[in-house]
Structure 1
Amino acid sequence: MLSSEASTLPDKRERGLLLVFSAGVLWSTMGLGVRLIEDATVWQILLYRSISLSLFLYVVIRIRSGESPFVQIRQVGLPVVLAGMALVLAFSGGIYAIQTTSVANAMLLFATAPFIAAILGRIILGEAVRKATWIACIVAIAGVAIMVADKSSGGVIKGSLAALGSAFGFAFFTISLRWGKSGEMLPAVFLSGLFAIALTLVICIATDLPLVLSPRDGGISVGMGIFQVGAGLILYTIGSRSLPAAELTLLSLAEVVLAPVWVWIFLGETATTNTLLGGVVLLAAIIGNAITGVVRRPPPLSSP
């Protein structure tokens, strides 16, 4: 019996690797999707993406759990609400960053989220932070400094700050889930969609932005909500259950690495020397932190 259960572990791990990597591939298309938008602003894109995301997740949560996502939200309470609000910051910052700076620059700055989460976890939850992680944070900050050193344009600097704000939002989302002791992120993502719909509606109306987009812009925005965000999070949620956190960190690099590739292949967008150099430093910090985490994990006990 034990040997039969043990034989299924590699299959579960391989399935988890495939699902989480696939999630990263889907997330990596955000830069390409935003670049293909012709006229819509960040708030219009977020409005349409949030509507499709919320409807999609409502159906998925009902099918998976047999209950309304509002029931799950009430069960967890404040942590899910805070997580949903944090994702609004992450989503809006991410779209604005890609519209105002290069996809490579934005994605590499998004990759600082694990380090921000480590610092917030220490401050808010009192979680211990490994010495290697603190060193990696310092190296990552150096990489970010190199990336933005040649950004003299005000718009590009704002885009870089928005990318860091997006990373902060994702980090706070993670901390909120840990605080609520909930491994299920989908209700929080569903709630973030509702928050974003309310926020973007107010902003669009207040700034006289049209609520009706062109078929091209509207279709791309709706598709991003379903396939890029919604489907990606579902794959990540299922796959993450059979993988340690260190491996999840490594697999999340698929988004960072592939996003600039898509815009280079399809749109011919390239990155500056500083972005590439700073990105190498940043990725080295992320990979080093993940590898040291794997090395420090104690080996599993073997059955007699």
Structure 2
Amino acid sequence: MLIALRDAFAGNGELTERQGAVVLFASGTVFSLTAISLAGVEDASDFQFLTYRGASTALAMLVLIVARRGGRPVSFAGVTRTVWLAGATLAVTSMLYILALSRTTAATTVFLLAAAPIFAAVIGWLVLRERVERSTIVAMSVTAIGVTITVGAGLDVGSVTGLLFAAGIPVTVGLYSVLMRSVSGVDPVVPALIAGSLLALGSAVVSIATDGLAVSPRDAVLACVSGGFALGVGLPLFNLGHRSVAAARVPLLLMSEVVLAPIWVWIWPGQAPSVATLIGGAIILGAVAWLVLVSHDAPDTAPSSRVPAIPLD
């Protein structure tokens, strides 16, 4: 598995559908660490946090680009308007996630995020003509049951603004999955670099106009963990893994993030999840694990090179 991941990242071959599913599951696990980072912030505003998060993500990608100069250099030859749109969509997703969590409950955000596979399936069918397999539909249904159990015992929508931010997340996640499936030949580092740079610049403008950029060392470190590690490691894995997995399945495999995030916050700073959260989380993880097992352990029958590009260029 590790050898296949190394070769695929270096441009020597493709992951199988099952390997891509495992990589996506791993990326969701890394993404889940953002919950700890945000929960530990003391004084930084949302946009201050997002500024350092975006900047550290971009810095992590630059370090990776420099590290690869001696082997297979990161190529920017395939950067089209579609790739820029994908990066911008990813930056918006990151912003919406943080803004939603700070204005409404995590349970509400998770509940709405469960709609992401539906948006990805619809957009993927309309744009890429990707058929939604029966196993994906089953996993969607089971996942929806698990999420409903998780939040049904005490759904609190919080502020209207927070609810609107959370409602936008499944749309952007679904759109990003389809955009990246369309231009999957691009180096996985590139969209992450674009997203981090745009997020840092946009958030910095808002921060300078409101609270400034000065934050405590503690908050800066937590934001950099959220960006430099959670996104810095998770995004390249995500961008690589999705190449071998149909767009409708990608958000389902990322459910590892929404299940594990409450567990990390339970460990620190001690926000114990409800019994419903644990039961629903177990159902979601079971659905995702089953989806990985039924994935094909062979090269994708519709490899990324044959997925049509979205006509934006």
- TM-score clears 0.5: yes
Residue 60 of structure 2 aligns to which amino acid in structure 1? F
TM-score for the superposition, normalised by structure 1: 0.74
Match of 1:122 among 121, 125, 139: 125
Aligned-residue offset at 1:91: 0.5
Q: Partners of 2:131 and 2:258 in 1: how far apart? A: 27
Aligned-residue offset at 1:222: 2.1
- Equivalent in the alignment of 2:60: 56
Q: Partners of 2:87 and 2:147 in 1: how far apart? A: 27
Q: Partners of 2:5 and 2:89 in 1: how far apart? A: 31
- Equivalent in the alignment of 2:47: 43
Residue 263 of structure 2 aligns to which amino acid in structure 1? V
Query: Cα 1:161–1:216, aligned 2, differ >3 Å: closer, same or farther?
Result: same
Contact 2:50 2:95 (C-alpha < 8 Å) held by counterparts: yes
Tell me how large the CA RMSD over aligned residues is: 4.0
Q: How does 1:181-196 map to 2 (within 5 A)?
A: 181-182=184-185, 184-196=187-199
- Equivalent in the alignment of 2:222: 220
Query: Cα 1:109–1:293, aligned 2, differ >3 Å: closer, same or farther?
Result: farther
Q: Partners of 1:245 and 1:143 in 2: how far apart? A: 22
Match of 1:84 among 84, 87, 109: 87
The reply on whether 1:151 has 2:155 as its aligned counterpart is yes
Q: Partners of 1:252 and 1:274 in 2: how far apart? A: 20
Between 256-265 and 48-57, the greater mean CA deviation after superposition: 256-265
- Equivalent in the alignment of 2:265: 263
Residue 43 of structure 1 aligns to which amino acid in structure 2? F
The reply on whether 1:97 has 2:84 as its aligned counterpart is no
Number of positions where the alignment pairs a residue of Structure 1 with one of Structure 2: 284
Query: Cα 1:179–1:297, aligned 2, differ >3 Å: closer, same or farther?
Result: closer
- Equivalent in the alignment of 2:14: none
Aligned-residue offset at 1:80: 0.8
Query: Cα 1:145–1:273, aligned 2, differ >3 Å: closer, same or farther?
Result: same
Q: Partners of 1:184 and 1:47 in 2: how far apart? A: 24
Q: Partners of 1:278 and 1:20 in 2: how far apart? A: 20
Residue 57 of structure 1 aligns to which amino acid in structure 2? M
Q: Partners of 1:130 and 1:86 in 2: how far apart? A: 26
Alignment gaps of 5+ in structure 2: 7-18, 302-313
Aligned-residue offset at 1:250: 8.1
- Equivalent in the alignment of 1:27: 31
More helix by share: 1
- Equivalent in the alignment of 2:206: 203
Residue 37 of structure 1 aligns to which amino acid in structure 2? V
Contact 1:112 1:164 (C-alpha < 8 Å) held by counterparts: no
Residue 165 of structure 1 aligns to which amino acid in structure 2? G
Q: Partners of 2:147 and 2:251 in 1: how far apart? A: 18
Alignment gaps of 5+ in structure 1: 1-9, 300-304
Q: Partners of 2:55 and 2:300 in 1: how far apart? A: 44
Q: Partners of 1:97 and 1:296 in 2: how far apart? A: 39
Aligned-residue offset at 1:96: 2.1
The reply on whether 1:173 has 2:192 as its aligned counterpart is no
SS at match of 1:49: helix
SS at match of 1:76: coil
Residue identity over aligned pairs, in percent, reads 30
Residue 3 of structure 2 aligns to which amino acid in structure 1? K
SS at match of 1:184: coil
Query: Cα 1:153–1:254, aligned 2, differ >3 Å: closer, same or farther?
Result: closer
Residue 12 of structure 1 aligns to which amino acid in structure 2? I
Q: Partners of 1:210 and 1:265 in 2: how far apart? A: 32
